[in-house]
Amino acid sequence: MIKGVLLDLAGVIYDGEDAVPGATEAVARLHEAGLLVCFVSNTTRSNKQAVLDRLARLGFSVTSDELFTPAQAARNWLRKHERSPHLLLHPDLIQEFQGLEGSRGKAIVVGDAGDAFDYEALNAAFRELVEGAELLALAANRTFRDSDGKLSLDAGAFVAALEFASQRDAIVLGKPAPAFFRSALATINCTEGEAVMIGDDAETDVAGALRIGFAHALLVRTGKYRHGDEGRFEPAPTATLRDISAAVDWILAKRREAG
């Protein structure tokens, strides 16, 4: 029986500064059906409060406990391993890491730094890695859908460059890292076998969730979706659907079948 739903944000429930048509009603239907909902995002350009504020402006009622981000996972990791952060991030996210000091060395924290991805910043991070710092990737996405509606290069390419130069493997803290999905599910007290993931990224959202045992993962044809994405990665989506409204229809029908 489906108990919980993880919902990606950009491209699934909103697109730029607009809600995806029907998204607010679709999320409301999940709540009305008694399903547990956690909003998850690999965004590394906005801090958590900014994401919550955007959701509120678009008509979604989401509490801080219902939103799980890679920055949260990174803060938890830094505290657990007593590392101080060396940040290669977008300026809007830096405040999330204030006050974190560790006694066991440094960790490079890489997100979508935008224009800050210049040679000087990348080389400074590389030199820390050579000296023994860990490499934390808030996400390893290849692309994201930018404000102009086109795909732009995401942080994954820069993480790969640092891995190549330093001969170190990054610890990925956002989707598709198994720990990220499991931490998000823990916030709603739901197991993988009871959960559905809805996303617009066949690789990061869908295949990532299915690999760790999600009951279902649904790909929507909004956001960064491009024709044929459903056949490009394994495991393939449980279903590929028009948008979040159609995905919620699918989930509620599946629950009725199991009921």
Tokens at residue 163, please?
A: 């891995």
Write down the mean pLDDT value for the chain: 94
Work out the number of other CB atoms within 10 angstroms of the CB of residue 239: 16
Give the per-residue pLDDT at 46: 86
User: DSSP characters for 4-32?
Assistant: EEEEE-BTTTEETTEEPTTHHHHHHHHHH
Read off the pLDDT of residues 152-205 as tens digits, 9 standing for 90 and up: 888 899 999 999 999 999 999 989 999 999 999 999 999 999 999 999 999 999
CA 68 to chain centre: 8
Amino acid at 120: E
Same fold: 4-42+175-258 with 77-172: yes
Read off the pLDDT of residues 218-235 as tens digits, 9 standing for 90 and up: 999 999 999 999 999 999
142: pLDDT confidence band, cut at 50, 70 and 90? confident
Read off the pLDDT of residues 37-80 as tens digits, 9 standing for 90 and up: 999 998 888 889 999 999 999 999 899 999 999 999 999 999 99
| CATH architecture type of domain 4-42+175-258 | 3-Layer(aba) Sandwich (3.40)
User: Rounded to an integer, what distance in angstroms lies between the CA atom of residue 257 and that of residue 259?
Assistant: 6
pTM: 0.84
Going from N- to C-terminal start, the domains of the chain cover 4-42+175-258, 77-172
Say if CB 144 and CB 154 are below 8 A apart: yes
| Multiple choice CATH, 77-172, 2.60.120.650, 3.40.50.1000, 3.40.50.970, 3.40.50.620 | 3.40.50.1000
Where does residue 259 rank: exposed (0-12), middle (13-18), buried (19+ CB within 10 A)? exposed
Residue, of 200 and 114, whose pLDDT is higher: 200
User: Rounded to an integer, what distance in angstroms lies between the CA atom of residue 117 and that of residue 155?
Assistant: 9
User: Rounded to an integer, what distance in angstroms lies between the CA atom of residue 140 and that of residue 161?
Assistant: 12
